[in-house]
Amino acid sequence: MTKKIAVFVGSLRKESFNRKMAGALMELAPKSLTFEMIEIGQLPLYNQDYDDEGTPPAEYSEFRQSVKPFDGVLFVTPEYNRSVPAVLKNALDVGSRPFGQSVWGGKPGAVVSVSPGAIGGFGANHHLRQSLVFLDIPIMAQPEAYIGGAAQLFDGEGKIANEGTRGFLVKFMETFAAWVEKNTAKNA
């Protein structure tokens, strides 16, 4: 059966390599997965007072409602100062509250990090995994995707220029589809 995947990009930059990567991943994925990119840049910084006082910003409520129906989650993120960009961490925090009403729990997920540097966003990838484990997202362990050399990754149309990387990403998404299938079956 088709599974619906919410895609989150940890960069707000117009020409973001990570946004391009998210587009490429959606295109290379098996047909058993459908995708929607969920925007996170509009979310005010998380402040627990809003929830405690019962007056969360409309952006929080809309975001939480929009994430709930998905079967799985895919995070595509740059590394900022060897960690997760604040905008993405903020989205995780907003979705995790009010206490006991997290939208994340049980949704199978995967992480791809992309950087122009050689380490491929390893630090961000693993800091993100730390939060995802706590949020009870069954996170795909293998294959790992630390994609370096981002400036050379894409052709003029935003497609993956390198055949080897393209093949790896096809495998990654096939494995993710199987991971989602296995873990949503467990939830059903």
Binding site for ligand FNR (CB under 6 A): 11, 13, 16-18, 78-82, 115-117, 119, 121
Which of 136, 147, 28, 138 is closest to 77 using CA atoms? 147
Residue 39 burial (CB count, 10 A): 13
CB of 8 to ligand FNR, least distance (A): 12
**CA gap 8, 91 in Å, rounded:** 9
**CA gap 110, 129 in Å, rounded:** 9
Beta bridge partners of 146: 113
Helix H or strand E segment including 47: none
CB of 132 to ligand FNR, least distance (A): 19
CB of 80 to ligand FNR, least distance (A): 4
* Under 8 Å between Cβ of 71 and 180: yes
Nearer to ligand FNR, 91 or 180 (CB): 91
Beta strand 33-37 with 3-9 is: parallel
φ, ψ of residue 66 to 5 degrees: the values are -70, -30
The residue count for the chain: 188
* Under 8 Å between Cβ of 18 and 11: yes
CB of 48 to ligand FNR, least distance (A): 26
Nearer to ligand FNR, 71 or 79 (CB): 79
